[in-house]
Every structure is written in C-alpha cells, then in structure tokens.
Amino acid sequence: MGLVELGHHTGLSAAMLSKVERGRLFPTLPTLLRIALVFNVGLEHFFTDARHTIAVARKKDRLVFEERFDSKEVVYFFQCLDFGAANRKLNAYYAEFPKVALARVRTHEHDGAEFIYVLSGTLSVVIGEVENALLKEDTIYFDSSIPHSYRAVGNGPCSAVVVTLP
C-alpha cells in the first residue's frame, strides 16, 4: 500500500506518513493507532520486532503462583517461562507439585492441547477417566479440552515443564 492510499484510510497526510517512514518524525500513539487499525494489528506491533520473537525469562524475574482448586492445600506451584514473549504461539510453565493428601484433585479443561515433560518425581495425570503415572523424563501430550488433573504421587514432590497450545 502506498503512502497516498494509507493517508486516505487513516486521514493522515502522505507527507506526514513519509516523515514517519523515514524516521524524521516520531508519531504519537493516536497516529500509530490509526495506522494499526488499517493493517488490523495492535499497537504492540510497532514496539516489537515483527520478524523475530525472542524473549529471555530470567529465573530471578519469574513470579511463582499457586493453584489450590478450592482446597486448603496447594495442588501445584507454577512459573510462566515465556512471560516476556509477544504474540506467543504457546504457553510454557515450570510446575512443582507438592505431595498432597487429596486422593484426587478437581479437574479443569481449556481449549487446545497440552504437553508435559516430567523433570523429577512421579506425576499422576488424569485425563477423562484414565490415570497416567508419569516418571522422571516421561512425557504426555493430550487434548486439553478433555477434563484433566495432576498431582504428585509416590514418596515426594514432583516437577515438570508444562506447555499449552491455544
């Protein structure tokens, strides 16, 4: 699309758009918003490298969240491993599953798929009515729209990398 045509769609002059394009004028957010609407992109498009997404999530910067599922006991702790990535195509988490007294935890479901790689311990993953006991370095991939749950089994806690795809 040429600058004149973009100007017609945005209400901005071709001369102004040319200055923005050449780096001679720094646009305001409302100006960027007008351009973004024409191309059906968000404002973040102008602040990230559209060709490559690279995000480093340092351990010291990650936050630890807990999931209780209406219980007093924490069922698992998790950290988002890709929180700084723009336009993510997946979500990656580090999860720790403490040994809990509950024999079975509440199930949940979400659109997409899920992949789990067990780092340590033994993890019980119940998908629908089927229980899968995963040992260290075992993996599982499943349709996450099926009700599922996780819990550590055996003598101690468990840790895993969990990847979800929308």
52 in any annotated domain: no
Is 137 found in the same domain as 93? yes
In the chain, the number of structural domains is 2
Strands 122-127 and 148-153: antiparallel
pLDDT at 104: 62
pLDDT at 44: 73
pLDDT at 49: 62
pTM reported for the whole predicted model = 0.68
Is 86 found in the same domain as 42? no
pLDDT at 100: 76
Render each residue's pLDDT in the chain as its tens digit; 166 residues.
888 888 988 999 999 999 988 989 989 888 898 898 888 877 777 776 656 677 888 889 888 998 876 667 788 899 999 887 777 889 999 999 998 776 667 888 999 999 999 999 999 999 999 999 999 999 999 999 999 999 999 888 899 999 999 8
158 in any annotated domain: yes
pLDDT at 69: 67
Is 35 found in the same domain as 105? no
Is 118 found in the same domain as 76? yes
Is 158 found in the same domain as 120? yes
54 in any annotated domain: no
Is 66 found in the same domain as 37? no
Strands (E), 4-147: 65-67, 76-80, 91-97, 113-120, 122-127, 130-134, 139-143
Is 41 found in the same domain as 63? no
Is 66 found in the same domain as 15? no
Is 139 found in the same domain as 89? yes
pLDDT at 112: 94
Domain that holds residue 82: 59-165
pLDDT at 72: 76
Is 112 found in the same domain as 63? yes
Is 88 found in the same domain as 43? no
The closest alpha carbon to 150, from 77, 45, 63, belongs to 77
Cβ–Cβ under 8 Å, residues 86 and 132: no
Is 92 found in the same domain as 20? no
